[in-house]
Amino acid sequence: MRKKITLKDIAEDAGVSISTVSRALTRTGKISGEKERKIFESAQRLNYPIQLDSTPFNLKSTVNIALVTYLHTGEFFSSLFNGFDHASQNTNATIQLLSVRYSKSDYIETIANLKNSGFDAAVIFLPEFVEKDYRKLLKEAPHNFPIVSTAPIVSPVLDTVTFDNYRGGYSVASHFEEQGYRTFGHIQGPSSRSEALLRKNGFVDYIAESDQLEFIWDFKGDYSLESGLRAYQSYKDSEHKPEAIFCSNDDVAIGFIHAALKDGIRIPQDVAIAGFDDLPKCKFYNPSITSVNTPYHILGKKVLDLILGRLENNDYGQNTGYTNLVPVSLSVRDSSVK
């Protein structure tokens, strides 16, 4: 029968007293850093059961971080996770994707209980959340459990790291003008989503700054390929057809282009198209699709730097509303180039 490891065994292995081991493992009282390191190394080596909250951050071999989202199939979510997975290289962080789409419990309850499941922190991408949801989450989650959001809202509650959606829309309009287009249209994302409004605002604001450009067509979409198909029908029936259209994401752009090509419309000769997210399929679609590039690995790195810094410094103040914008760029391809 395997011997049960006791505090005495750890004390003998680490060369300290039993009371010092007890204070270290329960995190009570003052102990030198060197003694603490020896005690936890001994406990881990001897397979002594340590409570999840007990091991100091600097002595953890792995920091478990949950990436919480409302998962749908498609390239966007795989690209998002891949960015975080890439960013975790050369760190002691392990990223686990957690979908709450089919969760039997309340989303907020699920996130608030993650610490009890062995997670050290959480990144949440839940664009459906509004201010009251974030405030409730802050109230219910443990104070020493860092949570960072990657979805923008008008009045941030959690610290947020997100893409510069406004600049993305602005750069698309600038590119269209450089190509010689003068009349523009837009296929919106969900009106309840802050990032969709920011993308449109950047696009429209650029147009408004010039007397030579006109915004003549708009369609309310929902980020789905199907809304791109519906948008094409609206475009087809419209008396005022724009020369160039900015789609709120790549799925919408593909839906529109698919319907247009099937109907004999030439892209970009008859209408230019640009999307947002620059998913891998944009390179391989025919015509290849101009899209706003969102570097997920940089997003992941900024988020992990923030979380790991908090854990290392025991800084858990997560209700500052700090927002860090990740720069975007435009990947120009056949769908918008004359």
Higher pLDDT among residues 251 and 105, named by residue: 251
Topology agreement, domain 7-59 and domain 63-163+298-328: no
Distance CA 52, CA 141 (A): 16
CB-CB contact of 336 with 268 (8 Å): yes
From the candidate CATH numbers 3.90.700.10, 3.40.50.2300, 3.40.50.1370, 3.30.420.10, the one assigned to the domain spanning 63-163+298-328:
3.40.50.2300
Helix and strand element counts for the chain (H, E) = 12, 12
Provide the percentage of residues in the chain whose pLDDT is more than 90: 61
Stated pTM of the model = 0.82
Higher pLDDT among residues 224 and 16, named by residue: 224
Distance CA 4, CA 99 (A): 38
Q: Which CATH architecture has domain 165-294+330-336?
A: 3-Layer(aba) Sandwich (3.40)
Q: Classify domain 7-59 at the CATH topology level.
A: 434 Repressor (Amino-terminal Domain) (1.10.260)
Structure tokens at 30: 């003052």
- What values do phi and psi take at 98, rounded to 5? -130, 115
Amino acid at 229: L
In the chain, where are the structural domains located?
7-59, 63-163+298-328, 165-294+330-336
One DSSP character per residue, 202-248 reads HHHHHHHT-SS-EEEEEEE--SSHHHHHHHHHHHHH-SS--SEEEES
The pairs formed by 265-270 with CB atoms below 8 angstroms and a separation of 24 or more are 267/334, 267/335, 268/244, 268/334, 268/335, 268/336, 268/337, 268/338
Place of tokens 């057809």: 241
- Show the 3-state SS of 269-314: CCCEEEEEECCCHHHHCCCCCEEEECCHHHHHHHHHHHHHHHHHHC
Q: Residues 78-130: pLDDT tens digits? A: 999 999 999 999 888 899 999 887 776 688 889 999 988 889 899 999 998 99
Distance CA 301, CA 45 (A): 31
- Comparing CA positions, the residue from 290, 299, 289 lying closest to residue 327 is 299
- Give burial (CB, 10 Å; 0-12/13-18/19+) of 189: buried
Distance CA 161, CA 151 (A): 8
CA dihedral for 56, 64, 164, 172, sign (positive or negative): positive
| Percent composition of the chain: helix, strand, coil (DSSP 3-state, to 5) | 45, 20, 40
Q: Residues 143-170: pLDDT tens digits? A: 888 999 999 988 888 899 999 999 999 9
Q: Residues 170-223: pLDDT tens digits? A: 999 999 999 999 999 999 999 889 999 999 999 999 999 999 999 999 999 999
Place of tokens 């309340």: 106
